[in-house]
Amino acid sequence: MLIGYMRVSKQDGSQCMDLQYDALILAGVLPERIYKDLGSGRNDDRPGLETCLKALQPGNTLVVWKLDRLGRNLKHLVNTVDNLRQRDIGFKVLSGNGAQIDTTTPNGRLCFGIFATLAEFERELIGERTRAGLAAARARGRKGGRPRKMTVTTLKMAIAAMSDRQSIAADVAKRLGITTTTLYAYVNGDGSLKEAGQALLNQQNQNQ
């Protein structure tokens, strides 16, 4: 099954989708299987693309007019195409620089594999940077890693600390090993409980 996706960068009517639409129809995509977005490719909010990606099933092929209609940047494009490959979903570009990408052909499958290689390379770079960052943090006496989540014990200490008017939220959060955002999600500035904090205490009482 062919699934189409199209996008224009402006929402003021100065651009139209006719060219993309006609190309998708000519390629064999049914009108009811075409998804669209109106807005810049740099915009994270692309509901049409999100719905399109969710609708795709193994064995389907995603068809776009040009490669730049799909990705908001190179990293997003590489990761999106690699995700399609992992889900056994084909990808076809009808025109432009990416027109050689068509997983129904040997050359297209080769291009598809290049995207997988680039995605793996990006993941390795991220892993190396993360490990280097943690090593540097340990060398400076910091353990690194993800901040601790709020527990009942931490919450009670947060209540006591924030009840002191001289307390600074950022310092309290740092001492407790949580972020300031997490602190304020459970406790008000005067140490009183927010709904999430009360729910956490209620949960403990129920488990006792």
Span 12-39, pLDDT tens digits: 444 678 889 999 999 999 999 999 988 7
Neighbours of 16 (CB within 10 A): 9
Q: What is the pLDDT of residues 96-108, one digit of tens each?
A: 866 777 777 777 6
9 counts as catalytic: yes
**How far is CA 157 from its chain centroid?**
34
Write out the two tokens for 27. Answer: 């390629």
Residues 151-173 have a mean pLDDT of 86
CA dist 130 and 53 (Å) reads 29
CB 48 within 8 A of CB 37: yes
CA dist 29 and 111 (Å) reads 22
Q: What integer pLDDT is reported at residue 14 of this predicted model? A: 44
For 198, what's the count of Cα atoms within 13 Å in the CB-facing half-sphere? 5
Rounded to a whole number of angstroms, the CA Rg of the chain reads 25
Residues 51-76 have a mean pLDDT of 86
CB 15 within 8 A of CB 41: no
Average pLDDT over the chain reads 79
- How confident is residue 60, by pLDDT bands cut at 50, 70 and 90? very high
Q: Among 9, 14, 40, 192, which one carries the catalytic annotation?
A: 9
**How far is CA 71 from its chain centroid?**
13
Cβ-Cβ contacts under 8 Å for 183 (sequence gap 6 or more): 158, 162, 169, 172, 173, 176
Residues 77-88 have a mean pLDDT of 82
- How confident is residue 10, by pLDDT bands cut at 50, 70 and 90? low
Q: What integer pLDDT is reported at residue 56 of this predicted model? A: 92
CB 39 within 8 A of CB 11: yes
Q: Is the dihedral of CA 94, 76, 123, 85 positive or negative?
A: negative
Higher pLDDT, 98 or 63: 63
- The reply to whether the predicted model has a pTM over 0.85 is no
